[in-house]
Structure 1
Amino acid sequence: MVRVITQETFNEVVKENLELDMSPEEAIEDAVEQFEAQGVDLSNIVKEVMDNIPGESKNKLKSCLDNLGKLIKTSSAKENEIITELKILKEECNKSLAHKVFAGSNGAYSMLVDILEMYSGNYDIALAALNTIIALMNGNPDLLEKRGINVIINYLDTQKNADIQIKVLEWTKVCCIKHEQNRQDIFDMKILARLTKLLHMADVPPGVVKNVCCVARALTLDDDIRVQFGKAHEHARELASEILCTLTDLLQKFKGDKEMVSDIILTLTALIVRNEFCQKVEEAGGITFVMDVFVNFHDNEKLTRQCLKLVKGLAGNDDVKVHLVQKGIGPLIVSSMHRHEKSAGVVGAGCSTIAALCLRCSANSILLYDAGAPEVILQGMKIHNKDADVQKQGSWAIRNMVSRDKSLCLEFLKLGAEDILRTAIKNHGKKIDYDAKAALRDLNCAIE
């Protein structure tokens, strides 16, 4: 189990080091070395001295927070005065994590939630406060509590302005990253019903769809090292039940918008965690839409890689796997791997997708063989012979293609598969030893 500590524990050790006449940099470096030597994971720790914020910046932050506190309590406070202080606070929080933590420890979060509650009907102040609280909590999500979650839910229920909706969704997203308890608390407050309602709005703006997708993906993360078991799968299951078909339909609606297509594909990939969800995507026309993306954005490396990962996910359903290849996905995969053969990411994702499509399915293996898969797999492995992941995925693609139809071995061997696999073992050793030897075995090559 991973060992973790609190920010306070880390700060105490740094403080002790400073008392030993170490410089701030030395104090931090020594503390990091101490904890890492004990096997402690410091990825969630702010590795800056809170007292090491330059005096001018600290004074500016403190003065800003004092001014905001007074303005909140003054009934005659002017709108432009509040917005000015909010912008200063946002700029200071964007400077470093140390600034965020200092602001949070001096009441910034409570003040911002107060402003959001008091000025929910004032567009300019609400927008400025949302931008500021996002800056404060980005990378610093521990500040969130029940009152903040209630503000999120109330804003999603009552605010009709797209700009406000987008900022509330951005705030929700940063609260969910690396914080399992926040994810669960937000989900328990029925956030899913609000996300579904937003997606079903008539002429829903692209920015809203994009940020709904971001929140949905954030709710399915499992990135909080402080928690041994999270609810990523449960969240993905419930999200998929409600919004999977809607997202698939939106993929067609926004098919000409590269950024929107990217976000929707990423979200679909995160949500298809069960067999029936793959089926739902197919029933909603997802296979046709994905094939269109391969064709329409064939020169876009990032989108191609994302499409390959979605196809791999859909191949988790045996029926959908067969339909994908029958409908002609094979030549599109091979073509995309040829076009982006210099990209290790695309080649690795392509090999992984071919492996998934051919797993326990000799009919798919034959169709992919006819589409030219052996050549593109081996060419990719040769080009990226220093990349262990490409060698591993390529090995599995070879193995799954030939394991149930030995007549396909000859073409692989003619193209030099044995030498490529043995070279991979020589270059990467134990990292891919099992995978490459499994492929060699199924190619009927001699192995130890």
Structure 2
Amino acid sequence: MEKHSNHQLCLQYCCWALKNLSLNEANKKKIAASRAPRLIVDALRNYPGHAGIVEEACGCIRKLVWGNADNQNRIAQEGGIEAIINGMTMHVSKASVQQQCGLALGDLAWSNESNQARIGRSGGIPPIIAGMHAHPTHSGTQGGLALGNLASLCVANRKIIAHAGGIPAICKSMKTNLQYPGVQEYGCWALRHLALDPDCKAIAIREGAPQIIRQGMQEYPNRAGVQEQGNCALKNLLG
């Protein structure tokens, strides 16, 4: 990647290789301790218009940061959050890119209040919602997981999501994608945290969120995640 920093296809496949190598925990530690995080972010930053680089770099970032606070912070320090957002905004029409970018932001935000706030300040929330609107029936681009993670600890993000139209987008997503239990679970996850804000709670109730949540729970009575998140969301909305 260092020797061929001007060769876009090389960078794409290097990110792809690192992503797959990161499936092994020992490899993941070696990659994280090397220059790789900086090189991945550099590729993403230097070629935001190359869909393949954006998709594979975000996929690699996801593997590196999932459940690892040190790696979350390392990617953020390298400027990865801003690079992901820039790449995401340039490929709204490509569902696979939207999926990987949105999930990467969500994974960077997981249980990390600093990253949540940085994503919100950097304008990362509207692109997630734009991806939901652009691909309404693509389960992978429905941003419930990312929006829920972003709203879980950062109070300011709840208001940003509301102002960006995120609550109607989540409700529409759940109604449109009833056949996908993951969309129902993560939609409830997002609404659960958004309902902690009084203004967000009022918007969600106005959008019919309680009925939408109940419909998902009725559709998947044996899906533990749907039931758990649905009950938590209803408690926060109606309590």
State if a TM-score over 0.5 links the two structures: yes
Asked if the contact 2:8–2:53 (Cα under 8 Å) also holds between the matched residues in 1, the reply is no
Q: Distance in 1 between matches of 2:147 and 2:205?
A: 20
Larger relative contact order, structure 1 or 2 (CA cutoff 8 Å, min sep 6): 2
Inter-CA distance 188–283: structure 2 relative to 1 (3 Å threshold):
same
Read off the aligned partner of 2:132 and give its amino acid letter. Answer: L
Read off the aligned partner of 1:94 and give its amino acid letter. Answer: L
CA distances 1:79-102 after superposition (whole Å, capped 9, x unpaired): 3x5455434433433322x64454
Read off the aligned partner of 1:171 and give its amino acid letter. Answer: A
Asked if the contact 1:198–1:204 (Cα under 8 Å) also holds between the matched residues in 2, the reply is no
For 2:191, the equivalent position in structure 1 comes to 268
1:177-216 equivalences under 5 Å are: 177-201=110-134, 203=136, 205-209=138-142, 212-216=143-147
Asked if the contact 1:237–1:273 (Cα under 8 Å) also holds between the matched residues in 2, the reply is no
Q: Distance in 1 between matches of 2:83 and 2:96?
A: 16
Tell me the TM-score normalized by structure 2.
0.82
For 1:111, the equivalent position in structure 2 comes to 39
Asked if the contact 1:240–1:272 (Cα under 8 Å) also holds between the matched residues in 2, the reply is no
Tell me the TM-score normalized by structure 1.
0.47
For 1:124, the equivalent position in structure 2 comes to 52
Asked if the contact 2:44–2:57 (Cα under 8 Å) also holds between the matched residues in 1, the reply is yes
Q: Distance in 1 between matches of 2:155 and 2:58?
A: 30
Q: Distance in 1 between matches of 2:213 and 2:108?
A: 31
How many residues are treated as equivalent by the alignment? 233
Select the structure of larger CA radius of gyration. 1
Asked if the contact 1:86–1:128 (Cα under 8 Å) also holds between the matched residues in 2, the reply is yes
1:98-247 equivalences under 5 Å are: 99-138=27-66, 139=68, 140-143=71-74, 144-145=76-77, 147-159=79-91, 160-201=93-134, 203=136, 205-209=138-142, 212-222=143-153, 232-241=154-163, 242-247=165-170
Inter-CA distance 248–154: structure 2 relative to 1 (3 Å threshold):
same
Inter-CA distance 260–202: structure 2 relative to 1 (3 Å threshold):
closer
Q: 1:93 aligns with which of 15, 22, 40?
A: 22
Q: 2:233 aligns with which of 310, 315, 325?
A: 310
Q: Distance in 1 between matches of 2:210 and 2:110?
A: 30
Moved over 4 A (4+): 81-84
- Output the aligned Cα RMSD: 2.7
Matched, 1:257 2:189: no
Report the CA distance between 1:171 and its aligned residue.
Answer: 1.7
Q: 1:287 aligns with which of 186, 195, 210?
A: 210
Q: Distance in 1 between matches of 2:157 and 2:80?
A: 21
Asked if the contact 2:136–2:176 (Cα under 8 Å) also holds between the matched residues in 1, the reply is no
Read off the aligned partner of 2:24 and give its amino acid letter. Answer: K
Report the CA distance between 1:273 and its aligned residue.
Answer: 0.9
CA distances 1:312-358 after superposition (whole Å, capped 9, x unpaired): 11222xxxxxxxxxxxxxxxxxxxxxxxxxxxxxxxxxxxxxxxxxx
CA distances 1:126-150 after superposition (whole Å, capped 9, x unpaired): 4333322322333211212363232
Inter-CA distance 191–121: structure 2 relative to 1 (3 Å threshold):
closer
Q: Distance in 2 between matches of 1:103 and 1:147?
A: 17
Read off the aligned partner of 2:161 and give its amino acid letter. Answer: L
CA distances 1:211-256 after superposition (whole Å, capped 9, x unpaired): x22221221334xxxxxxxxx2232233244311222232222223
Unaligned residue ranges in structure 1 (runs of 5+):
1-67, 223-231, 317-448
Q: Distance in 1 between matches of 2:38 and 2:21?
A: 17
Please state whether the residue corresponding to 1:69 is helix, strand or coil: coil
